[in-house]
Amino acid sequence: MNPAPPTSDFRAVRLPAPGRPLADERVAAAAPGTGEVLVRVKAAGICHSDAHYRAGVGSTRHPLTLGHEIAGVIEAVGNGVTTHRAGGRVCLHYLVTCGKCRDCRAGREQFCATGQMIGKDRDGGYAEFIRVPAQNAHLLPDAIPFEQGAILMCSSATALHALRKARVTTGDTVAVFGIGGLGISAIQLARALGASSVYAVDVNAAKLALAKRFGAIPIDARASDPVQAIREATGGRGVDAALELIGLPRTMEQAVEVLAPLGRAALAGLTRERISISPYRDILNREAEIIGVSDHLATEIPELMRFVLAGALDLSSVVSRTVPLEAVAINRVLDDLEAFRDDLRSVILP
Ligand SMILES: [Zn+2]
Ligand SMILES: [Zn+2]
């Protein structure tokens, strides 16, 4: 049986102000409104983006409960909700959008002008409970553990979206730059989408070994120039699609330089710095494309679940650490992420 639902207030770990450490707080409980569900959080992923939000980059209101990778159980449903019942296992799509504007209706809801991201623009999942529109709660099959359901909602979903944007299809060769949580999903999903070979570029031996275990060809960027190494491995041709998942100008340039004729570079890592490419050599001459990747779509979530259930996406080795819902522990994980001392993924188990 679940513990009692919140009647007065519940625990949350919140960002009091930009640049401050997260703090343990109590938040007033509220019943779900019309069209909303109240979810008891069972797992919340700690993402590299959360380190940026803590630093005050991107987060738009304070105090704010961080956390946009959330899985849990429906505690209560508001009026008009027919799609969910109390007790149902769910994971939450992190974009709350209007559903009515031109972009929402066209199925590109990341561009909804009034859209809000959970854990960035509105309270997130570093808490015992969260209230969200019912449409954001996707059923989580019993076979998928909560902590995997949580990380599916960000890194795996974005990896799938990046592969879709890069139009990866059967027989394509793919290079993945950066083998973190995103990269491990990207390797597996690229193979599930029919990629003939996947080159995994990183500088970390353990991550390269993990990439190899999932069927990728490891490319150690410390040992040789990855562009040259991949060109040699592909008979000089390069790859049909390259994903940049780190957010470094150099690896973005490499993702472009490594493309074959008609190749697509999908850039998902975040940086404000500029990159330098040779338009003739890298783009025009090859009719190559550079494509931006922003978030993912709600429609990609059920598709992801099917990949997990079919065994094509195995996240069991991705969750490397679990922490309690306590500010001290969570701040420590964020410090590690900021210093790139991250393993793969840490998940809060409230
Ligand atoms: Zn995330
Ligand atoms: Zn909209």
Encode pLDDT of 23-55 as tens digits: 999 999 889 999 999 999 999 999 988 999 999
Vertex 308: Cα angle to 304 and 314 (nearest 5): 120
CA of 270 to the centre of ligand 1 (A): 12
> Strand 116-117 relative to strand 129-133: parallel, antiparallel, unpaired?
unpaired
CA of 177 to the centre of ligand 1 (A): 18
CA of 338 to the centre of ligand 2 (A): 32
Instruction: Burial-class residue 20 by CB neighbours within 10 Å (0-12, 13-18, 19+).
Output: middle
> Which ligand is nearest the CA of 157, by number?
1
Q: Of 150, 160, 203, 220, give the one whose Cα is nearest residue 184.
A: 160
Find the helix or strand (DSSP H, E) in which 333 lies.
Answer: helix 327-338
Q: Is 201 helix (H, G, I), strand (E, B) or coil?
A: strand
Residues 6+ apart with CB under 8 A from 143: 308, 309
CA of 114 to the centre of ligand 2 (A): 6
Across the chain, which distance is largest between two alpha carbons, in Å?
A: 66
Q: What is the pLDDT of residue 3?
A: 47
Confidence of residue 343 (pLDDT cuts 50, 70, 90): low
Q: Of 38, 223, 62, 246, give the one whose Cα is nearest residue 162.
A: 246
Encode pLDDT of 84-141 as tens digits: 999 999 999 999 999 999 999 998 999 999 999 999 999 999 999 999 999 999 999 9
- For residues 129 and 38, the answer to whether their CB atoms sit within 8 Å is yes
CA of 135 to the centre of ligand 2 (A): 13
- Total-model pTM: 0.91
Distance CA 179, CA 223 (A): 16
Average pLDDT of the residues in 277-290: 96
Distance CA 108, CA 4 (A): 39
Question: What backbone torsions phi and psi does residue 344 show, to the nearest 5 degrees?
Answer: -120, -65
